[in-house]
Amino acid sequence: MADITVSLPDGSTRQLPTGSTGADLAASIGKRLARDAVVAEVDGRAKDLDAVLLDGETVRIVTVQDPMAAEHLRHSTAHVLAQAVLDLWPGATFAGGPAIENGFYYDFELPDGGSFTDEDLIRIDARMREIIAADQPFERFELPLDEARSLMADHPYKQAFMDLAANGDDADGEVSSSDAFGDGVISFYRNTPEFVDMCLGPHVPTTGRLANFRLMRHGGAYFRGSEHNPMLQRIYAVAFPTAAELESYLTQQEEAAKRDHRKLGVELDLFSFPEEVGSGLALFHPKGGIVRRLMEDYSRTRHEEAGYEFVYSPHITKADLFETSGHLDWFADGMFPPMELDVPETDDAGDRTDGTSYYLKPMNCPFHILIYRSRMRSYRELPLRMFEFGTVYRYEKSGVIHGLTRVRGMTQDDAHIFTTKEQMGDELGSILVFVLDLLRDYGLDDFYLELSTRPPGKAVGSDEEWTEATEALGSVAESMGLELVLDEGGGAFYGPKISVQTRDAIGRTWQMSTIQVDFQLPQRFDLTYVGSDGERHRPIMIHRALFGSVERFFGVLVEHYAGAFPAWLAPEQVRILPVADPHLDYAHECAAELRGHGFRVDVVAADETLGSRIRRAKGEKVPYVLVVGDDDVAHRTVGVNPRGGEVERNVPLVSFAERLRGDVESKS
RNA sequence: GCCCGAGUAGCUCAGUUGGCAGAGCAGCUGUCUUGUAAACAGCAGGUCAGGAGUUCGAUUCUCCUCUCGGGCUCCA
C-alpha cells in the first residue's frame, strides 16, 4: 500500500499511502508528535498539516517546541481575533493581521468610525476563548482573482491587498502576511460558514490548538503604515507556544514597568517636566543634576584623552546659516518656527524693509563647520576633532514626545571630525572603539551594530564615495566582532552611517550612538584643506554622537540600573545614620572624613526610628547606609548596610572608605 | 500631526440621579532616643489642569485649549 516515499530531517525515509498528509505522517511516527504538531515544513516551505504530501518530498513536522512554531500559532490566533471582532461588530471590516515579535496584531475598521475601548478587549477575549473551545478547523481553499473579489466584496481593505498583488506593487509591503497570492489564485481559510479570511497560510489544524495569548492594547494605525491612508483600529496581543512562556513575558513586562525612567524620575527626585515649561522640555533637579554632571565630566575627560578639542556655539543663529547647510530645505519641519527680529516694516520712503529671522539650532554641525572654515587648514591638522555638549531644539510632533527619550530640547555630546579621504577608514575604526569603550564604562556592554547604506533615489556624492565610505564603515564594524545588521537604503541622503544598538539589563534594545559620514556639508560650505602637494582638497566630515543625547542616555541609564546607580554615578553614595542623638557628632565626623576623600555623604539624625530611616534610604537606592552607635564611637568603626547585600558590623571607617574607593574606580 | 483614553493635595488614589472636597504616604510641630526595611499625637496642605457654555447651583454635563498615557507616522 506504500505509494509515496518522503524523507525526514534525520535523513531517513518513510512510506505512506497516496493522499497522506503531514498530519498522517506525524501520526505514523508517534502519538506525541501528532499532538504537538503545528505545521509541516515541506521542502523548506511551511504548509498546513492537512496538505497532501507528494512522493519524494522532504517533510519536517514543526512542533510547539520548534522556534518556528510561535509565528504560526500567533498568526492563527490573529484569525481568531478577527473572527471575534467581526462577530461582535456587525458591519466591521478587517485589513491585515500579521504575527510580530512576541505576538500579533490585527487592523479593523468599525462601523461609523468607532474605536475599541478597554472593556471591548475583555469581550473580545471572551469571544476568542469560545472560538478556541469550539475547536474550529482552519480549512484552506483557493479561488481565481475575480471570485476572490466577490467573496471579499464587503471588505475594501482586502480588495486593496488584492490590487497591490495584481499590480505587483507589494515590494514595500509591511502588511505582508495578508497577501494570500499564489500563482493567479488567492488562498483563503474558512473557520465557520460565516468566517473566511484571505491568507497565504499555513495555519494550525484547529483553533483548539491555540490558548496562550493575551490582548494587550488597542490604538490607531494607518492602513499600510502611511499617514495618507485612513486610520484603522489595531488590537495588539502577545501569544506564545506555552503558558509558561506567556507568563514569563508578562512578568518581564511588569519588571520593565517598574524601571520606567519617568516613574523613577519622580520617585528619586531626578527630573521633571512641568507643564509651565512646555512639552518635551526637562528640568533636572539637584539629584539628577549630580548624575548628569558626572556623566558629562567623565565624557569630557575621555574625549580630551582621545584628542578632541572643545568648542562652544550659541543656541540661536540667523536663517542664512541653515539655508547654506540645507537644514531649511530638508529639516524645516523638525525646527521651531523662526523668531523675526527687526520685524519688516515700512521705512520713511514707504518701502518695506526686510527683517532678519533667527532660528533655534536643531543641530550643531554648521557651527563647527564655521570654526573649521575660520582660517586655512593644513593636512597636518587633520583629523581635526571638535567636541561640544551642544544643546539643540527640535519641534517634535506632539504625539511622539516620551519622557527623556524623546524631547524637544536636548544636549548632544556632539563631535564633528574632519579628515582626509585617506584617513577616513582608520578614523572610523578608532571612533568606534572609543564609543564602545565609553559605553562599557557606563555599564552597557551588550551591543550590535546597524549599517545604513545609500538610500534609493537621489543621494549626494558620487558612487565611488558612497562605496568607499560604506565599505570603510562595514569593515570597521566587522572588525569589532559584533553582530552587524544591514539596514539597506536606510542612510541619510548625505552619507552612510553606523548606529550602535545596546541591550539593557532586561534585554531591551536602545539606539544610542551614531557615526555618520557626510559628503554633503563639506561641499555646501566649500571646505578645503591644503595637502602635502600644495593643492586644495575637500575634507570628509564625520558626525558622531555617543550618548545620542544626554537626556536620552540618562533615561536609558535610569532604566538599565532601575534607578540604583552604581556608586560612581549615585547622587548620594553614603548615608550615615546615628542610632541615637549621642552618636550624631561621631556620624558627622565620619561624614567629614569621607567627604575629604571626595565622596558624597549625608547624615540623617535620629528624629525617627532607625528602621524607618533605613527603609527610606533603601527606597532612595543609596549604595551604602552606615549605622553608627556606641560600639562604633568607641572603636572608630561603622556598621555597613550595602544596597543589595548583607549587613556588616564593626567595620573600620578606613576599610569602608577603601571599599567605596574601589567601587568608584571600577565603576561597579 | 492622526486615532483612543486620562488629568482631584508633593506622590498613589477614593469621590453618581449636579448640592460646602476625602484617605494613605510625604511635609510641618511636638513627644519618643531608637543597632539595621514603616514609633505616637496634632497641624497644615486644593481656583478638582486652564478657559468658555448649560444650570438656581458644575469636580460631576457640553465645547475649546494645555499636559500626560497607549498606538500610527517620525526620530537622538
Average pLDDT over residues A348-358: 67
Indicate the pairing of strand A574-578 with strand A624-628: parallel
Average pLDDT over residues A81-87: 96
Residue A9: the pLDDT is 87
In the predicted structure, residue A173 carries a pLDDT above the cut 50: no
pLDDT bin (cut points 50, 70, 90) of residue A661 is very high
User: CA–C1' distance A275–B49 (Å)?
Assistant: 9
pTM of the full structure: 0.91
A222 touches strand B (CB under 7 A): yes
pLDDT bin (cut points 50, 70, 90) of residue A57 is confident
Distance, CA of A375 to CA of A247 (rounded, Å): 64
Which amino acid is located at A249 in the chain? Y
Which amino acid is located at A121 in the chain? L
User: CA–C1' distance A642–B35 (Å)?
Assistant: 15
Distance, CA of A144 to CA of A184 (rounded, Å): 6
In the predicted structure, residue A436 carries a pLDDT above the cut 70: yes
Q: What is the DSSP string of A298-324?
A: HHHHHHHHTT-EE----SEEEHHHHHH
Higher pLDDT, A177 or A84: A84
Catalytic, A544? Answer no
Q: Which nucleotide is nearest to A403 (CA to C1')?
A: B68
Q: Which of A385, A497, A544, A575 is catalytic?
A: A497
Residue A183: the pLDDT is 60
Nucleotides on chain B that have an atom closer than 7 A to a protein CB are 1-5, 7, 11-12, 26, 31-39, 66-76
The pLDDT tens digits of the residues spanning A599-641 come to 999 999 999 999 999 999 999 999 999 999 999 999 999 999 9
**Helix or strand (DSSP H, E) at A665:** helix A653-666
Peptide bond into A286 cis (omega under 30): no
Higher pLDDT, A181 or A40: A40
Sheet holding A540-545, edge to edge: A309-310, A384-393, A409-419, A540-545, A509-518, A497-503, A447-452, A484-487
In the predicted structure, residue A651 carries a pLDDT above the cut 50: yes
Q: Which of A36, A66, A179, A414 is catalytic?
A: A414
The pLDDT tens digits of the residues spanning A568-606 come to 999 999 999 999 999 999 999 999 999 999 999 999 999
The pLDDT tens digits of the residues spanning A282-339 come to 999 999 999 999 999 999 999 999 999 999 999 999 999 999 998 888 888 899 999 8
Indicate the pairing of strand A536-537 with strand A529-530: antiparallel
Catalytic, A285? Answer no
A258 touches strand B (CB under 7 A): no
Residue A174: the pLDDT is 36
Alpha-helical regions (H) of A134-276: 145-151, 156-166, 243-258, 261-267
User: CA–C1' distance A211–B74 (Å)?
Assistant: 36
User: CA–C1' distance A402–B69 (Å)?
Assistant: 10
The pLDDT tens digits of the residues spanning A211-258 come to 899 999 999 999 999 989 999 999 999 999 999 999 999 998 988 899
Average pLDDT over residues A382-404: 95
User: CA–C1' distance A279–B68 (Å)?
Assistant: 10
Chain A residues 442-501 with Cβ under 7 Å of strand B are 499
In the predicted structure, residue A135 carries a pLDDT above the cut 50: yes
Residue A346: the pLDDT is 57
The C-alpha cell at A97 is 493581521
Q: Which nucleotide is nearest to A499 (CA to C1')?
A: B76
User: CA–C1' distance A258–B13 (Å)?
Assistant: 18
- Mean pLDDT (chain A) is 90
Average pLDDT over residues A263-269: 95
Q: Which nucleotide is nearest to A651 (CA to C1')?
A: B35
Catalytic, A365? Answer yes
Residue A181: the pLDDT is 53
Catalytic, A394? Answer yes
- Angle ∠(A245,A483,A560) on CA atoms, nearest 5: 55
Chain A residues 109-148 with Cβ under 7 Å of strand B are 113, 115-117
Residue A179: the pLDDT is 44
Distance separating the N- and C-terminal Cα atoms of chain A: 70
Residue A182: the pLDDT is 52
Residue A35: the pLDDT is 86
Chain A residues 626-665 with Cβ under 7 Å of strand B are 627-633, 639, 641, 647, 649
pLDDT bin (cut points 50, 70, 90) of residue A344 is low
Q: Which nucleotide is nearest to A614 (CA to C1')?
A: B37
Catalytic, A583? Answer no
Catalytic, A416? Answer yes
Integer angstrom CA distances of residue A485 from A51, A447, A602: 36, 11, 47
Average pLDDT over residues A154-179: 66
The pLDDT tens digits of the residues spanning A518-534 come to 888 999 999 999 999 99
**Taken in order A302, A308, A314, A316, is the CA torsion positive or negative?**
negative
Residue A177: the pLDDT is 38
pLDDT bin (cut points 50, 70, 90) of residue A481 is confident
Peptide bond into A383 cis (omega under 30): yes
Catalytic, A414? Answer yes
Chain A residues 532-551 with Cβ under 7 Å of strand B are 545, 548-549, 551
A584 touches strand B (CB under 7 A): no
What SS3 state is found at A639? Answer: strand
Residue matched to cell numbers 512639552 = A279
Q: Which of A203, A261, A361, A394 is catalytic?
A: A394
Q: Which of A74, A261, A365, A663 is catalytic?
A: A365
Q: What is the DSSP string of A21-44?
A: BHHHHHHHH-HHHHHHEEEEEETT
What SS3 state is found at A209? Answer: helix
Residue A266: the pLDDT is 94
Residue A222: the pLDDT is 95
